[in-house]
Amino acid sequence: MSTVFLTKESFEKIKSEIQFLKTEGRAEAGAALAEAREKGDLSENAEYDAAKEEQAKLEKRIAMLEHALTNVKILEESEIDITKVGILTTIKVKNLKANKEFNYKIVSEIEADFKEGKLSVSSPIGKGLLGHKKGEKVTITTPAGPIDYEILDITK
């Protein structure tokens, strides 16, 4: 994994998430497995299979977050360049075809959450906007086809 750029706040949030997953998350997963085991034959127990799958997802998330924190570079607010779209910038863009405006924060992969407006720097839209300046129009190729954006603002 390459360098993960985070603010101090994001770094602390991820450390807290790891601690939560290792304690409460593992306890819940263990309890769900134990409950499913009590329901009999494991070879035909869909609840047991689902609990095992959830436990595997939990362990994968813990491992990914821990690995990411070994490659972290903490960026101070003052280090964020807002003259162009970059990591940890907040941008306001307009989808020119739909005539709708969106606000996104460009973040590392581990922080990405589209529902919260946090766009991964490695996503097609994130990559397509990187390095562009306020006022520029950009055509980005996405799995759904090309999308034309205008960058309306860049802030921290």
pLDDT in tens, 70-120: 989 998 888 889 999 999 999 999 999 999 999 999 998 888 998 999 999
Nearest to 80 by CA among 51, 121, 114: 121
Backbone CA torsion sign across 25, 26, 31, 36? positive
The answer on 96 and 30 residing in a single domain is: no
pLDDT-based confidence at residue 42 (cuts at 50, 70, 90): low
Average of per-residue pLDDT values in the chain: 91
The answer on 133 and 89 residing in a single domain is: yes
Between β-strands 100-107 and 72-74, what pairing exists: parallel, antiparallel or unpaired? unpaired
Nearest to 147 by CA among 118, 124, 131, 130: 124
The answer on 150 and 99 residing in a single domain is: yes
Task: For 17-37, write each residue's pLDDT tens digit.
Answer: 999 999 999 999 999 888 888
The answer on 112 and 67 residing in a single domain is: no
Tell me the C-alpha to C-alpha distance, in Å, between residue 71 and each of 5, 15, 60, 68.
Answer: 9, 13, 17, 5
Containing domain of residue 26, as a range?
Answer: 4-74
Q: What is the CATH number of the domain that holds 26?
A: 1.10.287.180
Into how many domains does the chain fold? 2
* Type and span of the H or E element at 65: helix 46-69
Judge whether residue 3 has pLDDT over 70.
yes
The answer on 99 and 65 residing in a single domain is: no
Task: For 119-156, write each residue's pLDDT tens digit.
Answer: 999 999 999 999 999 999 999 998 889 999 999 999 98
Tell me the C-alpha to C-alpha distance, in Å, between residue 70 and each of 16, 74, 106.
Answer: 15, 12, 21
The pTM score is: 0.74
The answer on 114 and 50 residing in a single domain is: no
